[in-house]
Structure formats: structure tokens, C-alpha cells
Amino acid sequence: MTTLTTSFADSKTMLRRNLVHAKRYPSMTFALIIMPVFLLLLFNFVFGGALKSSTGGRYIDYLTPGMMLIIPAYMVAGVAVGMATDMTKGIINRFRTMHFSHASVLTGQVVGTLIQGMLGVIAMTLMALAIGFRPHANAVEWLAAFGLIALTVFALNWLGVAFGLIAQTPESASNMPTPILFLPFLGSGLVPTDTMPAGVKQFAEYQPFTPITETLRGLLMGGPIGHNGILAVGWCVVIGVAGYFWSTTTFRRKTK
């Protein structure tokens, strides 16, 4: 077998291991999926009446594309904790004695969490549709929207792997991604950036979640996308590449 074939087979094994863990210990996955759905309901039914005037239309239609990105942000903590748990409980040392691609451990974590994250996005979308979300997207636009969300989850997961590798304990790994959890709220996910004070507005407009949110909103609601599509993909590529090299370099150093 070639090196590429071996790596692919080993990555499939690690992916299966990750999914089995998620099945046996569903509490974290459940929390990471249910909490964003709860926030969708909270903002729509509790704050929606006060916030809808700033969006110029039905608030649930404005809110849902932004809330879809809460799940990618939350999944960073899940993959960080999973990676930190593997690093601190000795399983990696056992893997080092086996003949397989060590990088597949990272790939399994990333792809396994990607699958869980996309299931969460589907659950949130169904909930949003049930409470009044009415998108105008055709099949191609839906596919593009979910593709962008998947790219966002994939990129952020590599960052989460790096957090898990440098953390001393799973508990500290769960706290490291906290700044990322706030970014969807400090962008255009809840209200337009034009309603924000000057300093907050500038931060919101130049952080990565805003162009991703605006691209999703344009795809799903038929609005303009403009340069946001290029910025959204660009941010995902930069985050994903940086997270990949950070995590693989750290992993090689710790498993010498």
C-alpha cells in the first residue's frame, strides 16, 4: 500500500473511533448542539421584539443565518477537549508504538467533529423553519450555504485541535476557545453593524464571522453578497491552514 492509501485508511479508523466515542458519551455533543438551538429560541422570542426594528424585516429571517455559525464556534471547544483528553490519558503513547499514520489522530478528530457539527446545523435549520424562518434559496444556494458552513467548521476544528494539543488538561482546553465563542455575537449575526458604536462597529466589520454571516444571509435570503463571499472563503482558508500547521507541528513535537 502507498503512504497516501495507508494514511487514508488510518484516518478512517480514527474517524470511526471518534464517532464511537461521541455515541458512547453523547453529553458534550448534545450540549454543543442544544445550546445554540436554545440561543436561537432565546433571541427570537425574548429579544426579537426589541431587535427586529433594526433589521428592517422579520427578525427570524435575519437571525437564523447568523445563529447557524454559533455551532461552528461551539464545536471548537468540543474538538479541543477531545484532543486534550487523548493527549493527557496516555492513549497517544499507545498509538506511538503502533505502525500507522500518527497524523490520522488529528484528522479523525477534525472530520468526526465536522460530522457532528453539520448534524447540529441541520437540527438548528429545522428548528428555525418550524418557528417561522422562510428562506428564498434554491437547491444550489442551499448547497453553497451548507458548504460554507462545513468549510467554517473544518477550519475552526483545526484551530481547536491546536488548542487541545497545547492545553495541560481537558478543562483548560475547554476554556481556550472562549474568545471564538463570542465572535458570532460581535458581528452582524444578531443586528446590523451600522447600529453599533464606532469602535465595536469597526471590530465587527473586520472580524471573520461577519463576511461569513453576510454570505450565508445573501445565499439563503436572496440578498447581495458582494465581496463578502471572497472574504468568507479567504478567512476560512487562512484559519484552516494556520490551525493545520500549528496543530501538526505541535503534535510532532509532543510525540517524538
- Helix, strand and coil in the chain, % to nearest 5: 80, 0, 20
Question: Do residues 255 and 92 touch, judged by C-beta distance below 8 A?
Answer: yes
Which pLDDT does position 222 carry in this prediction? Answer: 86
Cell of 33: 448542539
Give this prediction's pTM: 0.86
Which pLDDT does position 35 carry in this prediction? Answer: 81
pLDDT per residue, tens digit, the chain (256 aa), is 444 454 555 555 555 666 566 665 566 666 667 888 888 888 888 887 777 777 777 899 999 999 999 888 888 888 888 888 877 776 666 655 555 566 677 887 888 888 888 888 998 999 999 999 999 999 999 999 999 999 999 999 999 999 988 988 888 888 888 889 889 988 988 888 888 898 899 999 999 999 999 999 999 998 889 899 999 999 999 999 999 999 989 888 877 6
Alpha carbon distance 211, 170 (integer Å): 32
Which pLDDT does position 1 carry in this prediction? Answer: 44
The three state secondary structure string of 105-117 is HHHHHHHHHHHHH
